[in-house]
A and B are shown apart, each in its own frame.
Chain A
Amino acid sequence: MKGNIHLLKLIFLFLIIFYSGDEVQSQTKDPDEILTKVKEAFKIVNDYEVDIHIKVDVNFLKVPDSNAKLYFKQPDKIYIESEKFVLLPKQGLNFSPLALLNEKYTALYDREDTIRGVQTCVVKVIPIGNTSDVILSTLWIDQSRDLIIKIESSRKPLGTFSIDFTYEKYNDEYEMPSTMIFTFTIDRMRIPRGMNGQLDVEEEADSEKSGPREGKVYITYSNYKVNQNLSDELFESTEMDGKK
């Protein structure tokens, strides 16, 4: 009987050590290594051209659904072409891991997390220096594909935003975003009044009463043309507003 109790203690101790060892092992996942893999995976695609469909769902902003053509070239060149006016989220549109990660930063491994049934590891990135208005970014990385499937950022002074990506394999080779959902919160909307005056004075009072404003922008990507050797001249056009 004494021998059985002693064996149980050993097994129990072993299990504790084993699982503790696992935790110690996971706590020591290298965030820089994870991010480097993401950067490398991103570099496979040199350029692409894609059709995008944009739907804006913001409580203070009413915009009709629109279509455009998006051109991208490494590391962060973007050009948008559209017959009609198009409103696109700045942060999500030209989001490039390279742009985020080429600046100086400190990365911290946070935890494992499951999003939309996908196992991810969560890495926090803190930019160093005053060059960026981003205070903190949290990245959910699908390590099986080295893809960022969610990012959450806090910016000063405008508030937080998050972007959710889904990907599809293109040509059995490239994992390309198929949808992007940009979610943001803005505490105060400083829209000038001067344009139209007031339709109804009560409108002004109502608008001031409402709380923080939030919304979503949905972008759907289709008809990718990847690595077509797009020329740099295309990205020099001044038509697109807000280009970096």
Chain B
Amino acid sequence: MLQLVQIELYKIFRKWRSYIGFIAIGVLGVIIQIAMLYEGQKSLDFMTQNLRDSFVFVGNLLNGFLVSYLILNMLTVHIPFLIALVAGDLLAGEATAGTYRILLTRPVSRFKVVSSKFIAGNIYTFSLILWLAIVSLGVGAILFGFGELIVIRTGSVLILDRADVLWRFLLAYGFAALGMSVVCSLALFFSSLVENAIGPIVSTMAVIIVFIIVSAINIDLFKSIRPYLFTNYMLSWRLFFSDPVDISKVLEAVLILFGHIIFLFSITAIIFKRKDILS
């Protein structure tokens, strides 16, 4: 299995499209940080305006942690697309290229083939999130340094001591990776159904966008559906920036996301095992 995963990773990283994600995150991340360098203080002052009527702020809240937090918020739609771009091609790309015929006539079970693609796709996903962390925290440290993190939600403001922030980011990135793993699994599932990579990419993004819209609209019908939508839990990495951290909610989100991954992978494996290769 390890060999198969290595082969799949090699194939992924030999395609130029796989680098789109890294380039996009690198460029976007740096652009956002440079923008924050020039305009960030104004935005922060505006956001904390009401507090400043009653309080004096000593020290700088515009630091690498705040910028990394904002980047993580901003890229919630962009990153799924970058992942679908690669994951959607994992199976459908073989059909398009006609390489199913050489791949699936080897003495390797179809389950191992699809599993190796699933694992490789997730490794790619995790590496993308790792890169996001490096760009955010690394460039953030260079441009802004680190300090206390202010987390503003409607009705509350939380300021976290700098020594209390890094572990939260590590868990948040880990959780974000889990959320993106669901996206990868979804794209792989769509990829098993068709013979062209465009379909899975568009379908994955359509599902995510529709789910996000349904989650955002405040009518009773949608509210009752919301707990069943995985997009509802993809943003649960924010739970790590509460004090105290609601462990039960975190665990709930982790279980639900894992459940989605297992479910989607199982269906994909079943479909793939029974699929007639006609391409």
Which residues of A pack against B, CB within 8 Å? 60-64, 68, 80, 82-91, 93-94, 158, 161, 184, 186, 189-199, 201, 203-204, 206-208, 210, 239-243
Question: Which chain B residue has the least Cβ–Cβ distance from A190?
Answer: B50
The one of B51, B53, B58, B155 in contact with A208, judged by C-beta atoms closer than 8 angstroms, is: B155
Q: In the bound complex, what is the Cα–Cα distance between A82 and B58 (angstroms)?
A: 7
| A85 with B156: CB separation less than 8 A | no
Q: In the bound complex, what is the Cα–Cα distance between A186 and B46 (angstroms)?
A: 19
**List of B residues within 8 angstroms of A94 by Cβ:** 56
Which candidate, B12-20, B160-168, B185-193, is the interface stretch facing chain A? B160-168
Question: Which chain A residue has the least Cβ–Cβ distance from B57?
Answer: A241
| A184 with B152: CB separation less than 8 A | no
| B56 with A240: CB separation less than 8 A | yes
Q: In the bound complex, what is the Cα–Cα distance between A203 and B153 (angstroms)?
A: 9
Question: Which chain A residue has the least Cβ–Cβ distance from B164?
Answer: A64
**List of B residues within 8 angstroms of A240 by Cβ:** 56, 58
Please report whether the interface of chain A is mostly helix, strand, loop or mixed according to DSSP: loop
Q: What's the minimum C-beta distance from B263 to chain A, rounded to whole angstroms?
A: 24
The A-contacting residues of B in range 138-170, CB under 8 angstroms, are 147-148, 151-162, 164
Q: In the bound complex, what is the Cα–Cα distance between A241 and B53 (angstroms)?
A: 12
| B54 with A186: CB separation less than 8 A | yes
Q: In the bound complex, what is the Cα–Cα distance between A158 and B54 (angstroms)?
A: 8
Which residues of B pack against A, CB within 8 Å? 46-47, 49-61, 69-70, 73, 147-148, 151-162, 164, 218, 235-236, 238-239, 243
Q: In the bound complex, what is the Cα–Cα distance between A87 and B152 (angstroms)?
A: 15
**List of B residues within 8 angstroms of A243 by Cβ:** 56
3 smallest beta-carbon distances between A and B, as pairs = A207-B155, A242-B56, A85-B59
Q: In the bound complex, what is the Cα–Cα distance between A186 and B54 (angstroms)?
A: 9
Given contacts A85-B58, A86-B59, A240-B58, contact A60 B164 (CB under 8 A): no
Q: What's the minimum C-beta distance from A185 to chain B, rounded to whole angstroms?
A: 10
**List of A residues within 8 angstroms of B239 by Cβ:** 199
Q: In the bound complex, what is the Cα–Cα distance between A166 and B49 (angstroms)?
A: 31
Question: Which chain A residue has the least Cβ–Cβ distance from B215?
Answer: A201
The one of A61, A85, A195, A199 in contact with B147, judged by C-beta atoms closer than 8 angstroms, is: A85
Q: A85-B61, A203-B153 are in contact. List 6 more A-B contacts (CB 8 A).
A: A85-B58, A191-B51, A191-B153, A199-B235, A199-B239, A207-B154
**List of A residues within 8 angstroms of B60 by Cβ:** 85
**List of B residues within 8 angstroms of A88 by Cβ:** 55-56, 58
| B56 with A189: CB separation less than 8 A | no
Given contacts A85-B148, A207-B154, contact A191 B55 (CB under 8 A): no
Q: List 18 A–B pairs whose Cβ atoms lie within 8 Å, in order of A's numbering.
A: A62-B157, A62-B159, A64-B148, A64-B159, A85-B159, A87-B51, A87-B56, A88-B56, A90-B55, A186-B54, A189-B155, A190-B50, A191-B153, A192-B152, A194-B47, A198-B154, A207-B155, A241-B56
